[in-house]
Copies of this chain bind each other. A is one copy, B any other.
């Protein structure tokens, strides 16, 4: 079961990366690198921060091979209809949930306190995408107020999970509850367009000023 969820998390993260890199019309090196970063970047950061070795994609080297094969296949994949791209949101939310809880769990196992564990969950779940956006020369989409909540769902679920793990009685339920919360929160954020407000420094954008008569 866990194996299947992990497999799905890797595949759907990589798929996000492949589609992003394809839109930029990169070549195979670019598509594979971006897909790799999205799938493994967050977990690699977490492992480096917590000094966990070997890194999970070195310990499970079939995953990079799978992403390699996906990057090859993407060359021949026709453009996905928009409906299909939208339906990818569900497996993507599952991937986010799995990576977040796995990240928080790894941090707890290293003795990290609650807040740090929740942060590591969010880093594991979302920073692969941040890296890929950065390397593709875009301000990370999860930092922008125009995108529905993503890291917020991850952090909230990871925090709840880490909190429940403090109570021996809740130990067995913590992971399923955290995963469920993240998936439900993320899908609701997409469905109802929940966004975090933009910070403002009090300076109006010129574009948003009323036109002179």
Closest to A196 in B: B27
Of the stretches A98-106, A110-118, A177-185, the one at the interface is A110-118
**Per-residue B-contact encoding for A18-58, CB less than 8 Å = 1, 0 else:** 01011111111111011000000000100011110111001
Asked whether A134 is an interface residue with its Cβ less than 8 Å from the other chain, the reply is: yes
B112, A74: Cβ atoms under 8 Å?
A: no
Of the stretches A3-11, A86-94, A162-170, A199-207, the one at the interface is A199-207
B199, A64: Cβ atoms under 8 Å?
A: no
A139, B136: Cβ atoms under 8 Å?
A: yes
Q: Which of the residues B34, B74, B198 comes within 8 Å of A27, measured between beta carbons? A: B198
**Per-residue B-contact encoding for A188-213, CB less than 8 Å = 1, 0 else:** 00000001111111110100000000
A199, B145: Cβ atoms under 8 Å?
A: no
Knowing A58-B116, A112-B58, A112-B61 are in contact, say whether A199-B25 is a contact too (CB < 8 A).
Answer: yes
Distance in Å from the Cβ of A111 to the closest Cβ of chain B? 9
Distance in Å from the Cβ of A116 to the closest Cβ of chain B? 5
Q: Which of the residues B44, B50, B68, B137 comes within 8 Å of A138, measured between beta carbons? A: B137
A58, A79, A195 pick with most chain B CB within 10 angstroms: A58
A30, B116: Cβ atoms under 8 Å?
A: no
Distance in Å from the Cβ of A189 to the closest Cβ of chain B? 12
A22, B152: Cβ atoms under 8 Å?
A: no
Knowing A30-B140, A79-B203 are in contact, say whether A25-B135 is a contact too (CB < 8 A).
Answer: no
Knowing A130-B135, A137-B137 are in contact, say whether A198-B26 is a contact too (CB < 8 A).
Answer: yes
Closest to A117 in B: B61
Residues of B within 8 A of A28 (CB): 152, 196, 199
Cα–Cα, bound, A31→B49 (Å) = 21
A27, B197: Cβ atoms under 8 Å?
A: yes
Cα–Cα, bound, A75→B200 (Å) = 7
Residues of B within 8 A of A151 (CB): 29
Residues of B within 8 A of A25 (CB): 145, 198-201, 205
Asked whether A142 is an interface residue with its Cβ less than 8 Å from the other chain, the reply is: yes
A22, B199: Cβ atoms under 8 Å?
A: yes
